[in-house]
Structures are given as structure tokens and as C-alpha cells.
Chain A
């Protein structure tokens, strides 16, 4: 979706504020929320693309206004309700609805080390033909889906060169909406800064984006 999250190239956001000796979490609740999101993710009711899209759905003004973790919290509540793991009533009251059997946690303390050490790989060991070869000139497609995509606006319609084939990965555009993994090749595509931003850009500078087969067309 063409949301405010797709920030590459926007002006007016101000200088970067680099906090010295920054803590990992600025308040205990940020850490609790961080952990809750992973622990609930273990139920397998959603995937990383679904959660990213849910954050993108936070209305633009609020998205910019909220801190990173506050934004994640808003999106997390929506995910919990949409997946029927909790009801809005339960969130408001803070108490489980009566008559519900008690579940057994999907992520136990013993499983945390394995989750942290293994992660959740999104590469897929399936044979899919690559549509493009290293060194080939390509164009990023001009698509404007209302759903989730990882093709930023600033690259759409621009010409670049395939620099590397990363192999086969899950496609976020379908996966986020539970429409299948659509495994396909992902490439590192190099764009010159001048192709993206015009003559104002430094002549030697470049920007690489990782792009799925579906994002590209022959130049």
C-alpha cells in the first residue's frame, strides 16, 4: 500500500537524532511488548508479513506521531483480535471471558533459546526458475497494490541491474494476506542514485534493493 511507512525519499522529517548510550528498551513495557509479540507469534496465526502490514495500516498521522513500540502495540492488539486469540471485550476488561478452556502456551521458556538461535527462515528449498540473470538490466514494475508490498514507491518504474541472486524466498505480497507463499527468486538490484533521484544525486552513488521476481520486468 502507498502508506506513510514507505518513507524512502520523503522530505521534511528533520535531522537524525542519535541518542548517546541508548538503552535497549526505554521503559520496561517496551520489552514486555517485544516479548509478547514473539510469544504470541508462536501460535502460528500470522506471519512476519502480516504483522508488518498491520503496522502499515496504522493511520498516517498516528503512525508518525506514535513511538515505534506504541505503533507496534496498536497493531498487535488488532492482530490478536483478528486472529480470534482474544476478544476486544477481554482486552478492555483485562479478564478472560467466562467458560473458556485454559490453553497451554505455544512458546515455553525452554523453546526460547531455539527460537532465538534458529529464527524463522523465509527462504524455501523449492525449484523455481529465475526470471533474471546476474548482470541483466531490469526495470522495477510500476505497481500500486492496496495490500502489502515490499517494493518502495521510490524505485517503481526505475531501471537497475541485477547484482546477485539471493535464491528463493516467500513473497510478502501474498503471504501477508494468507494467499500463499508464492516462492520465487529474490535479487539484489543496483540502481544509480541519479536514476532514482536525478541530477542532484552524487554521480557515483548507488542504492541496492532486494526485489522479488514479481517486482521486475525486462528492460
Chain B
């Protein structure tokens, strides 16, 4: 009995180990052509996706130019700069902010944004007493038209598992410590509503133009894992 159990464990560990080794090899760009028993694990995703694409093109099921256009849209056109413009407009135009908080779809469309994975938008406002945090515990729902495609951490098990049970701990890891007087509101994107956080406008930015304000707004602040700082010294997104 004991031997059998050990045998099973060994198999499991070996399979997992092989996969991890495989992933590491991937990350380091090494050549490898081993085939382990896990059929579901793509043995070489780059080659297999390329082979699948050729097959689908050959069958007339996909148009390569359409693939290029899709990739171009999300690599170069749609990203957190869109959301930053929405936020800056809301900071400088009270009537716009009101429209944004009551009918986000229409207000975001005023700036020319909307569409795939942002068909139904909601904007939630941070104040000195309320801090909003957006997550999708079940998969990776994220407001593409205003933030682009989600970063790896947003789709990761640590963020998805902990944001709802320990939001303050997660925020601390992002360098944000909130007082007990602040109410943390977590939004779990379980349906087709997509959430954008309207961060607080930092003090000392009264004289900045809308464009200069937009340059301060980060992706992380619009997900709710950071605040907007008067001066950017973080990453360029």
C-alpha cells in the first residue's frame, strides 16, 4: 500500500517537475523536444501555435491580415492611456465626471473608446474615505477599451485568490497602506460589467493641463492597487 502510494506520488511529482523544467526551458529559450505523458501540456507553444495558425489559414478559416490587425489594436492602439484620458477629463470637467459615474458607457464613448470586453462599463470613485479595488476571481475579466489587456499579475492565482479575502494585504504588497478609517470596496467582476477606478486627483496638480494630468495616471491606479502621485516615478504605463 505504502509502496503504491509512493509510486503514485513519484509519478505526479515527476510530471510536475518535467513541466516546470519545460517551462523554465521555455523561459530561457532553450531547444527541447521531449514529449512527456501530459498530452494537454503544449510541448512547444510557439511551434504548436504557428502550426495551428497555418492549418486554420490553409482551411480558409482565418485571415492572417485579421490576426495582424487584432494584435496591432491591442499592442499599439488600446491601452491604459485611454483610461488615463477618461480620468483626466473627469478631474477637470465636473459635468463629465457626473456623466461618467452615472452612464459610463456613454461618457467613455464621448472620448472615442468602447467595445470588446468593455461593452458594459461602470466607473467607481475613490475618495479620502473609500478605496475601490477591481478583481476577477473566476478568470481574467478586465476593461479592455480603457486599460488594454490585463497584466500577468491581474490574471494570477495570488491576486485572484487574495484580493477578496485580504485586499489590504494585497494593497500593502503594491506599496499602499490604507488607514482603518478608509472603507475598501472590492469589485469582483463576476458578470459582463467591467470596472474602472476613478482615482483621487493628487494635491498640487491644480495648475496642470488635462494632458499633463493624464500623464500622471497609471494603469495600477485605475485597477485600484495604487494611488496617483503628483509626480510620476513609476513605470511608463
- Asked if B16 contacts A65 (CB within 8 A), the reply is yes
Q: Is the CB of A138 closer than 8 A to any CB of chain B?
A: no
Residues of chain B with a CB closer than 8 A to A16's CB = 153, 156, 158-159, 162, 170, 173-174
How far, in whole Å, are A94 and B79 apart by their CA atoms in the complex?
34
Q: Is the CB of B199 closer than 8 A to any CB of chain A?
A: no
- Asked if B66 contacts A119 (CB within 8 A), the reply is no
| Given A91-B55, A109-B63: A58 and B115 interface contact (C-beta under 8 Å) | no
Q: Is the CB of B157 closer than 8 A to any CB of chain A?
A: yes
- Asked if A19 contacts B51 (CB within 8 A), the reply is no
How far, in whole Å, are A210 and B139 apart by their CA atoms in the complex?
14
Interface size for A (C-beta < 8 A) is: 99
Q: Is the CB of B45 closer than 8 A to any CB of chain A?
A: yes
How far, in whole Å, are A61 and B166 apart by their CA atoms in the complex?
24
- Asked if A94 contacts B66 (CB within 8 A), the reply is no
- Of chain B, the residue at the smallest CB distance from A151 is B190
How far, in whole Å, are A86 and B183 apart by their CA atoms in the complex?
51
- Asked if A29 contacts B164 (CB within 8 A), the reply is no
Q: Give the number of residue pairs across the A-B interface with Cβ within 8 Å.
A: 288
| Given A28-B46, A103-B59, A111-B66: A166 and B193 interface contact (C-beta under 8 Å) | yes
| Given A102-B60, A208-B187: A8 and B193 interface contact (C-beta under 8 Å) | no
- Asked if B67 contacts A32 (CB within 8 A), the reply is yes
- Asked if B50 contacts A186 (CB within 8 A), the reply is no
CB interface residues, A 43-98, toward B, < 8 Å: 43, 52, 55, 58-59, 61-62, 64-70, 73-74, 77, 85-86, 90-91, 94-96
Out of A62, A115, A186, name the residue touching B41 (CB < 8 Å).
Answer: A62
Q: Is the CB of B2 closer than 8 A to any CB of chain A?
A: no
- Of chain B, the residue at the smallest CB distance from A170 is B192
| Given A40-B61, A66-B41, A166-B191: A20 and B235 interface contact (C-beta under 8 Å) | yes
- Asked if A119 contacts B115 (CB within 8 A), the reply is yes
- Asked if A202 contacts B191 (CB within 8 A), the reply is no
- Asked if A112 contacts B69 (CB within 8 A), the reply is yes
Residues of chain B with a CB closer than 8 A to A169's CB = 191-192
Q: Is the CB of A179 closer than 8 A to any CB of chain B?
A: no
- Asked if A105 contacts B153 (CB within 8 A), the reply is no
**Candidate in B61, B63, B75, B151 with the most chain A CB atoms within 10 angstroms:** B61
- Asked if A121 contacts B119 (CB within 8 A), the reply is yes
Residues of chain A with a CB closer than 8 A to B168's CB = 202, 205
Q: Is the CB of A197 closer than 8 A to any CB of chain B?
A: yes
- Asked if A120 contacts B116 (CB within 8 A), the reply is yes
Q: Is the CB of A126 closer than 8 A to any CB of chain B?
A: no
* Shortest Cβ distance from residue A163 to the other chain B in the assembled complex, whole angstroms: 10
Residues of chain B with a CB closer than 8 A to A9's CB = 161, 164-165
Q: Is the CB of B203 closer than 8 A to any CB of chain A?
A: no
* Shortest Cβ distance from residue B42 to the other chain A in the assembled complex, whole angstroms: 5
List the 10 closest A-B pairs by CB distance, nearest first: A210-B191, A8-B137, A109-B65, A103-B60, A35-B67, A105-B63, A119-B116, A35-B70, A102-B60, A10-B161
Q: List 26 A-B contacts (CB under 8 A).
A: A5-B138, A7-B137, A8-B188, A9-B161, A14-B157, A28-B46, A33-B49, A36-B53, A36-B56, A36-B62, A40-B62, A58-B40, A70-B45, A86-B55, A105-B61, A109-B65, A109-B68, A116-B70, A116-B116, A119-B114, A119-B119, A123-B192, A186-B192, A193-B184, A197-B165, A210-B192
What residues of chain A have their CB less than 8 Å away from a CB belonging to chain B? 5-11, 13-22, 24-29, 31-36, 38-40, 43, 52, 55, 58-59, 61-62, 64-70, 73-74, 77, 85-86, 90-91, 94-96, 100, 102-109, 111-113, 115-123, 150-152, 154, 166, 169, 186, 188, 193, 196-197, 201-202, 204-212
